[in-house]
Amino acid sequence: MSTEIKVPVLGESITEATLGEWLKKPGEAVAADEPIASLETDKVSVEVPAPVAGVMGEYGVQVGDTVAVGATIGVIEAGDGAAAKPAPAAAAPAPAEAAGQQAPASGGDTPAALSPSVRRAVLETGVDPATIKGTGKDGRLTKDDVLAAKSAPAPQASAPAAAPAPTTGGERREERVKMTRLRQTIAKRLKEAQNTAAMLTTFNDVDMTAVIEARAKYKDLFEKKHGVRLGFMGFFVKAATMALKDIPAVNASIEGDEIVYHDYADISVAVSSPGGLVVPVIRDAQDLSVAGIEKTIGDFGKRAKDGTLKMDEMKGGTFTISNGGVFGSLMSTPIINPPQSAVLGLHRIEDRPVVRDGQVVVRPMMYLALSYDHRLIDGREAVTFLVALKNAIEDPTRILIDL
């Protein structure tokens, strides 16, 4: 007797997804509710749990196929849940051959199937996946793990190895990889923003001295009390909510021929995930303390890496903050996240000469960029918003007393 594996309900208005990865191979034992496949939707990856315990049967669809909600993607055969029968003993595979098999999961003896991108990376680099510690969910290998292992220096050999024969040809290679559903959605939405909004970007800079000093002074006490590290985003999110209250147009949106003003600040924060940037929302950020904001962002970052963010957590949002500075960006012109009307770009902090009280001094400076929809937000409002944000960051006491 077999039980069908069906695509679960994925969320409001989402009717289909792409099969991103099979987590179980045919013949492997499966426990009830154990993840057996992952689906890529427009926003996040969703794991498909096993409906019953048994043995993984044949796949009904392949990686990369588009599947509808409720569709059957495979079956689970009846069984007692015992481990799958071992394959006949064979000679140890070479690294490239091992790519088509399994890599050991971190911190345990249970093997985890390689995803297509990881398998491709192993084939291209020749790295033995059995020697790599996985950093993905449940210890699974990621493509970055393989590339990092390839770039890591080789251990010193007891005797020098023979130098490889030099390549004589100028071989040039190309690879075509289908865009993930998440990347397709990102591309569509960003292009839609450019085509719809009258986008303009205004810049300012901010002296980070006071925030850096406050962070250095209180970070240990802060972490001890709140259980989370004190970063810069907590200051910027809180300062942004204050500036948004003063300049409500920056927190508004256009719907048809109407302007919708919000008396709350739902701040979208861009965080990295294995599939690209995702933008979860800090709800009612205006009511949260810096500690509450930092806790929320830390939780988002961890779950984005694990692929466990929920779709509802990425809906809505009235204003976005994107921190390109963590990647070393000096300056950028961020793109609006529709239907929002503005996005704040943060950048790297670097020492620069500035004039203070007639003297040239060195200060840790950061460029700020506000991209906004000029149909709704005037230049005066954009500049006023940035100045209010700058004042709060340069004098964090303003944040404390809501000035």
CB 373 within 8 A of CB 379: no
Q: Select which of 284, 287, 378, 402 is catalytic.
A: 378
Residue with tokens 């290998």: 141
Taking the whole predicted model, whether its pTM rises above 0.85 is answered as no
Contacts (Cβ under 8 Å, ≥6 apart) of 78: 1, 2, 3, 54, 55
374 is catalytic: yes
Residue 251 confidence (pLDDT): 96
Beta bridge partners, 348, equal none
* CATH of the domain spanning 2-151, picked from 3.40.109.10, 2.60.120.10, 2.40.50.100, 1.10.3720.10: 2.40.50.100
Burial of 195 (0-12, 13-18, 19+ CB in 10 A): exposed
Output the pLDDT for position 293: 95
Residue 366: φ, ψ to 5°: -135, 135
Predicted pLDDT of residue 210:
94
User: What's the pLDDT tens digit per position in 53-105?
Assistant: 889 888 988 888 888 888 899 988 887 644 444 434 444 444 444 444 443 33
Total residue length of the chain: 403
Those residues whose C-beta lies under 8 Å from the C-beta of residue 338, and which sit 6 or more positions away, are 189, 192, 193, 196, 197
DSSP conformation class of 158: S
| Res 387: pLDDT | 96
pLDDT (tens, 9 = 90+) of the chain, 403 residues, equals 788 898 887 765 577 888 888 888 888 888 888 888 888 776 667 788 888 888 988 898 888 888 888 889 998 888 764 444 443 444 444 444 444 444 333 443 333 456 656 666 676 677 777 788 777 666 777 777 777 777 665 555 444 555 555 555 678 988 888 777 767 777 877 787 888 888 999 999 999 999 999 999 999 999 999 999 999 999 999 999 999 999 999 999 999 889 999 999 999 998 877 666 788 999 999 999 999 999 999 999 888 888 788 878 888 899 999 998 888 899 999 999 888 999 999 999 999 999 999 999 999 999 999 999 999 999 999 999 999 999 999 999 888 767 6
Cβ atoms of 5 and 51 within 8 Å: the answer is yes
Asked, as a colleague might, if the bond just before 339 is cis with ω within 30 of 0, I would say yes
3-state SS class at 1: coil
Per-residue tokens: 49: 């749990």
Give yes or no for a contact between 79 and 29, defined as CB atoms under 8 angstroms apart.
Answer: yes
Residue 34, judged by CB atoms within 10 A of its CB (0-12, 13-18, 19+), counts as middle
Indicate the domain borders of the chain: 2-151, 182-401
**Which value, to the nearest 10 degrees, does the dihedral of the CA atoms of residues 249, 253, 258, 263 take?**
-60
Confirm if 306 and 246 have CB atoms less than 8 A apart. no
- 316: region left, alpha or beta (phi > 0 left; psi from -120 to 50 alpha): left
The residues, ordered by sequence, that sit 6+ positions from 6 with a Cβ below 8 Å of its Cβ are 51, 70, 71, 72, 73
Can you give the pLDDT at residue 82? 46
Which bin fits 200, alpha (ψ -120 to 50), beta or left (φ > 0)? beta
Question: Each residue of 194-238: pLDDT tens digit?
Answer: 888 889 999 999 999 999 999 999 999 999 999 999 999 999 999
Q: Could you give the CA distance from residue 234 to residue 226 in angstroms, rounded to a whole number?
A: 13
**CATH 3.30.559.10 for domain 182-401:** yes
Contact indicator for 328, 236 with CB cutoff of 8 Å: no
Please, where are the H alpha helices in 111-232?
116-125, 143-151, 181-196, 209-226
Residue 247 is predicted with a pLDDT of 95
| CA atoms within a 13 Å half-sphere pointing along the CA-CB vector of 128 | 7
> Catalytic one among 65, 284, 374, 402?
374
Is residue 315 classed as helix, strand or coil in its secondary structure?
Answer: coil
**pLDDT given at position 164:** 58
DSSP β-bridge partners for residue 58: none
Two tokens, residue 90? 């064979």
